[in-house]
Amino acid sequence: MLDKLDVSNEEPSFQPVKIRNSMREDVAGKCLSREEALSNTSHKKNGYFKGPSVMQ
Amino acid sequence: MIYSARDFVERVSCGEISVLEHAEKICSEIEAKNNEYFHFNCFQKDYVISQAELLEKEIKKGRSGKLLGVPVSVKDCLCVKGLESRAGSRILSGYKPVFDATAVARAKSEGAIILGKTSQDEFGFGTFSIHHTAGNVPLNPLDKTRSCGGSSGGAAGFAALTENTHVAIAESTGGSIACPASFCGVSSITPTYGVVSRYGLMDYTCSLDKIGAIGKSIDDASLLLEVMSGKDERDSTSADFNYYPAKFSKMNLGVPTELIDSIENSRVKKVFWEKVLKAEELGCKISNVSLPLNAKYGVAVYYLIAMSEASTNLAKYCGMRYGFSKKLVGDFNEYFSSVRSDAFGEEAKRRIIIGTFARMSGFRDAYYLKAMKVRTKLINEFKRVFSQVDLVVSPSMPMVAPKFSEIEKLSPLENYAADLCTVPPNLGGFPHATTNAGKCNGLPVGLMAIANHFEDAKAVSFVSALEGLM
């Protein structure tokens, strides 16, 4: 259906509104504690997430 | 009598209304009605009352706020600290965020009382709030055999049902605020893309998702938007723009010919036209405008973009870090596939599969990139119209709230076609305010006013003036 339209001169709109580069200063801010990050999983071990096996 | 949010705050501030007594009243209402209408996926009376008790003490010490004591419901797809937040999906079962979404945090900072999480389609995948794997299907307060609309069905349903002051935080990707507001006969605002931070939103489509507001009146929704809007460094796409309501002045309105012609329900069109013509009493001029590309290609472009982005957004749900999980059996592929097969619903799977196909090597340029380029054409078409008129006005939905038995008979394509009116402004990120235009056989018909980017206040002021004529 879209093939009927000529878009050869159009730029893609990856966002509907023009957005300027919005980089912030490269300074670490407040982030989640380890306890908070792990509070929603039942798969954890020694303070890390525990995932399924990678190698048999 | 139900006070508007602004009246309510004034009365709380001068001690005429006790926020604790009001919170107890609305909790009793939810306890009495939620098992009948299912507008809330998560509601805990203790959670609400503890906020009200604390706020009551703070008010006595002089606390103020734009939403002081106003009960605010939150769509299930926004994170609320400590409250199970599932976005209508089983894959997020048991997930209790450790932080608030920015929109929620801003409402709380202005004294809002968070009521709970409102029901929705899974991750927003639907027009009728019937596609979910967590919670229940919300029922329309005007007729329980009919849909509330989607995907913010619980939000609009409760806004219509409640006999207390309340505003709802909702979210729209392709029409998920305007649609349920239309079906339930309440008012809504979907702001310009980026006006409200998406931080803490469980995204459906990053380039389309917008957090907005639903209320019994447009002024209630406007107050909530005013509180939620503004730049947030946690969302790089948030705009450096604060929304404030504006005074109404006479406007030129454009009615999109092709879109109106595409609507088959003549009774919906009749109710819409009767309401639009009343705008002449406000001094507005009405003319026809043309949006042929949006009418013809909008829905196709929308679903290509939405499904493509959804398929990547949903990749993070794998049963490891939060939400639904199983015993760790098998390798990564086996475990993740098992979790996702069990916990995603049929519509979510359909969208992930179609979206993944559209992004595959060899197809990406033909589908996803092409859709993005067509989106540019559709946005430019709107921009040309906004050089002629202030607002584009149309029905919010091409139909009234359908019966669940009617929805069952729709094919997926017929389902998607219902988004005909709401997709164009959503695809272009244009702000739109909606109100009830009147009734058709006892069921509400919505009217939608669409404005150019960042002219949200213009659309709201028009709808507010229109509501003032009632």
Nearest CA-CA distance, residue A16 and chain B, Å: 5
What CA–CA distances, in Å, run from B158 to B4, B39, B229, B414, B423?
15, 6, 23, 27, 24
Which pLDDT score, from 0 to 100, does residue B135 have?
Answer: 86
Partner residue facing A2 (CB), from B297, B320, B334: B297
Count Cβ–Cβ pairs < 8 Å, chain A vs chain B.
107
Mean pLDDT of B353-369: 90
Which pLDDT score, from 0 to 100, does residue B23 have?
Answer: 98
Per-residue pLDDT of chain A (56 residues; tens, 9 = 90+): 888 899 999 999 999 998 777 788 899 888 899 999 999 999 999 999 999 988 76
Which pLDDT score, from 0 to 100, does residue A30 have?
Answer: 87
ipTM of model = 0.93
pTM: 0.97
Helix (H) or strand (E) holding B28: helix B19-37
Residue B253 near residue B393 (C-beta atoms within 8 A): yes
φ, ψ (nearest 5 deg) of residue B358:
-65, -20
Q: What tokens appear for B345 in the block?
A: 């619903």
Alpha helices by DSSP H, B121-242: 153-161, 178-184, 218-228
Taking the Cβ of residue A34 and every Cβ of chain B, the question of whether any pair is shorter than 8 Å is answered with no
Mean pLDDT of B317-325: 96
Strands of B443-450's sheet in order across: B40-43, B113-118, B71-75, B167-172, B210-215, B187-190, B432-440, B443-450, B391-395, B252-256, B285-289
Residues B169-224: tens digit of each pLDDT: 999 999 999 999 999 999 999 999 999 999 999 999 999 999 999 999 999 999 99
Contacts B430 to A, Cβ<8 Å: 16
Contacts B369 to A, Cβ<8 Å: 12
Beta-carbon separation of B370 and A2 below 8 A: yes
Cα–Cα–Cα angle for B397, B102, B66, rounded to 5 degrees: 80
Nearest CA-CA distance, residue A26 and chain B, Å: 13
Q: What is the largest CA-CA distance in chain A?
A: 58
Percentage, residues of chain B above pLDDT 90 = 96
Nearest CA-CA distance, residue B301 and chain A, Å: 8
Taking the Cβ of residue A47 and every Cβ of chain B, the question of whether any pair is shorter than 8 Å is answered with no
- CA-based Rg of chain A, rounded to a whole angstrom? 22
DSSP string across B80-144: -TTS---TT-GGGTT---SS--HHHHHHHHTT-EEEEEE--SGGG--SSS---SSS---EETTEE
Q: Does residue B367 sit in helix, strand or coil?
A: helix
Nearest CA-CA distance, residue A32 and chain B, Å: 8
Mean pLDDT of B380-406: 97
Nearest C-alpha neighbor of B217 from the set B182, B258, B188: B188
Taking the Cβ of residue A52 and every Cβ of chain B, the question of whether any pair is shorter than 8 Å is answered with yes
Length of chain B: 470
Which pLDDT score, from 0 to 100, does residue B63 have?
Answer: 97
What CA–CA distances, in Å, run from B469 to B149, B160, B217?
26, 20, 13
Beta-carbon separation of A54 and B453 below 8 A: no
Put simply, the chain B residues between 354 and 373 with a CB less than 8 A from any chain A CB are: 369-373
Mean pLDDT of B322-351: 95
Strand partners, B213: B169, B189
Residue B353 CA to residue A37 CA, distance in Å, equals 30
φ, ψ (nearest 5 deg) of residue B426:
-70, -40
Residues B124-149: tens digit of each pLDDT: 999 999 999 998 999 999 999 999 99
CA B92 to the chain's CA centroid: 20
Q: For this structure, is B337 an active site residue?
A: no
Residue B389 near residue B146 (C-beta atoms within 8 A): no
Q: What tokens appear for B6 in the block?
A: 């602004």
Which pLDDT score, from 0 to 100, does residue A56 have?
Answer: 66
Which pLDDT score, from 0 to 100, does residue B470 have?
Answer: 64
Which residue among the candidates B89, B176, B311, B396 is catalytic per the annotation?
B176
